[in-house]
Amino acid sequence: MKRASKFKAVGKKMLWVSAAISFYEVTDVLVNDDSNKWNVTTKASIDITIGLIGFYGGPIGWLVSGTYFILDISGAFGDWGKPSGIRSDGVPYNFNQFEYDHEIEFNIEFVQEIQEKKLLEMRNVKKDKTSVIKPRILLRKN
């Protein structure tokens, strides 16, 4: 019974840690107006609910909770419930190593100029009568 009470105390602390992480994720996406905020909020709510089921559900709750979290860690749900890093107006707000605050526009005229220059360079190349022949074997090893 003493060991069981220690596991229960650790389980309760882990439930609070899990709930705090989920709460932080929801707060972060809502503050940044993430385009995927409702999926993140739904997944965080499910995480907290499954944690409560695991803590208060007895052996069946442990089985349900353990299965859910193993599936979650293994990537069975894919990107569902993860922040997109893009605000709802389409502007990125969160990149790991750099800030991106402008859009790059494609300039077709610039590309056409480069292609024309390359074409002119190719036309101005002088051709000579050099050819490549198949190499002959001079010495053979036996």
> What is the DSSP code string of 7-71?
HHHHHHHHHHHHHHHHHHHHHHHHHTTBTTHHHHHHHHHHHHHHHHHHHHSHHHHHHHHHHHHHH
Confidence tier at 45 by pLDDT (50, 70, 90): very high
Give the global pTM: 0.58
Query: Residue 27: pLDDT above 50?
Result: yes
4-13, 32-41, 85-94 — which is least confidently predicted? 85-94
